[in-house]
Each structure stands twice: as C-alpha cells, then as structure tokens.
Structure 1
C-alpha cells in the first residue's frame, strides 16, 4: 500500500511539473509575437516610404494603388474613395501633362504672334504718321521763306506746332527735316528742344550744316 501511495504521489508531482512548464514558456511567445509585429510594421513603413519616393520621382503613381486599396476599407472606403472617380496610370498622367504643356505652348505662341502683328501694325501707322509730320514740317519751313510780315505770323502761330511735330519724330527723321530748314529756323527749333534731344538730332544731321548751326548757337549764347 505504501508503494502504491508513493507512486500516486510521484504522478501528481509529475503532473504539477508538466502543468507549470507551459506557463513558463508563455512570456517567450509573447515577446516573439511583439517582435514579429514590430518587424512587420517596420517593413510596411519602409515599403511605403520607398513607394512615396518613387512617386515623387515620377516612376510610380501611388494614387492608383492607394485608391484601389482604400476603396476596400470598411465604412470609410466609399466616402474617401468614391466609386465613380477615375484613377489614371503614370503613363496616362504623363500624356495628360504633355498635352497640357503643348496647349500652353500653343496659346503662348498665338499670343506672341498676335502681339507681333499688333506691333507691326503700330509701326506702319507710326511710319505713316512720321511721313505726314515730316511733310507738314517741310511745308511750314517753306512758309518761313515768305515776306517778313508773314514770318512773324508763322513764328507766332505755327512755331509751337513745328516743335511738337519735331518732338514726335524719330531722331533720324527730325534730322532729315532740319536739314531742309533754313539755318535761322533750325537754330530756333534746336534752342526750343531739350538739350539731349537737340544734341541727338545734330548728331544725325549733315555734318557741315550741324557745324554751322552749333557755331551760330554758340555765338548767340555768347552774346
């Protein structure tokens, strides 16, 4: 009987030891599970970062990937990613960008062409205006060769118009007009103009006449 009791006691002790062993191993399994979860999370974050970098470089378009994955989310998928919205591939996106760029280039080209046509039109109008002003200035110069009574009238009434016409002309055209003026009238016109404008016109005039006019202007200034 004593032997049987000892065996039963040994069995009970063995069962207690077996029941205690799994309890000791549980913490190790928890640590492994946490480690695997952290490793998986790190790998997922690394993959997301790589995809985002490729998206910035234009190699991969993650919008289509996120749209497809997000549309399957419970409750929020339909709200965040409406089913009717179209997702394009990176190639399609590049084609759209090239088409938009081509449209911008074409619109800018048409705008530049329109401005160029406007400038050409204004240049033609300005050329006609300068020719008309030049003819009017020459006719006024001819009127100054009339008798002295009319010269005074021309100087009083038409001289301001002559100055205004000369100032509206280009330097080259103004020099051509003053070359046809008498020396006395040309001197009066140059004296009425701003010094820088008068100097620029003298530089474009006939050298001999310009020298005479400058000498006459210097003489009158000295007096």
Structure 2
C-alpha cells in the first residue's frame, strides 16, 4: 500500500473534525499548565528584559550574545533557560500523552474503559518526558549551529514519541527507528513538520502585529492555537505510522 500526503491529510481532517472539541479542551488544559508553571516559578525580571531587548536581537549569534554578558547575567540566563525548558517539556509531554491516549482510545475496536486509558496515560508520561528532553536537546544543538540542521533533526525525530508509546520500545530504539523511517519517507514527514513550523511562525507574526492585544492575552491565544496545530501534527504522524505498519 502506497502512502500519500493527500490520504493522510484526509484522514487527519476527518479525525480532527470529529474530535475538535476534545482537541481544543486538551489544548486549553495544556496552556493552563504552562501558565501555572509560569506563576509558580518566577524567573529574574532583569534577565527577561535583557533577552527581549535589542541586545539579544542585534547579536550575530547565541554565542555572541552570551559572550557579551557578565557572570551574574550568565548564571541568570542559565536558570531562565532551564526554567523555560522544563516548562516547554512539561506542556509538550502532557499534550503528546493526551492526544496519543485519545487516538489509542478511539482507535481500539472495543472501547476500553476510561480507567485503562488513564493508566496508559500515566505510564507513558515519564518515558515521553525523558524522550522529549533528549530529542529537544539534539534539535536545539542543531538550531544553535544553523537553522537547517535544526529543521532536519526535527523531521527525523518527529516519529519517536509515537513509536515509543505505541510499540513500547526503548528510548534509543524509538529514536533510531524514527530516524530510519523518517529518512525513507522524508517528503511525508517533512511536509507535516514544516507545515506546523510555518503555522506557528505565521500565528506569532499575526498576533504580534495586532497591537490591541494585551501581552498576556497574546501569550494565551498563541499557546492555545499552537497546541491545537501541534495536536493536528501528532494525529497526522500517528496516522502515517499506522499505515506504515500495515505495509
């Protein structure tokens, strides 16, 4: 059976149209988790201002920016970076686990009890968090050197959480299989990942240019919308993997 992008898009569209309310609900809960983490762990306001001002924007690279900081600013930047990584990994892991659990529940021939789905959700959370941590570090290293390696690594590692949760492989095996499968079907996986990246970029630009929107409201809307589109990407990739296994 030959897998096509058109077929995947149609399958994804039908699934999303049926479950759009649930997807929005999960996206909102994920956004609330992000807000809660922000409220509980407050970073240094000065370092946030330092990153957001022109000193960061006018730097030629991340390394150039860091070299221009004093020792205190470097320490605070490290704390802020760790905080943002924990926030990102927590929200991403929750969203991934929730959508994968939803798909698994709806895809089962005999609808399993909610209790079993919740147990499945709780079981995959820790392993997905560790996997997301590893893949995020790899991808960020790619982006630090140049944009294209980061995008390329994002495509190659996109299937790893789905493989891990579906086939119960080890972390290394999930990453290895993801690279192998994504490389062979890079046009299909790449299309989905690039579409997601473009949507995120467009949403950010559109909302930033609406000056009537408060900064907090902007962050809320951006988070909810990006979570919705990331959920759609997960569904797209999950459907691809199901079709791939049938071949």
TM range (shorter): under 0.3
TM-score by length of 1: 0.24
Higher relative contact order (CA 8 A, sep 6+): 2
TM-score by length of 2: 0.22
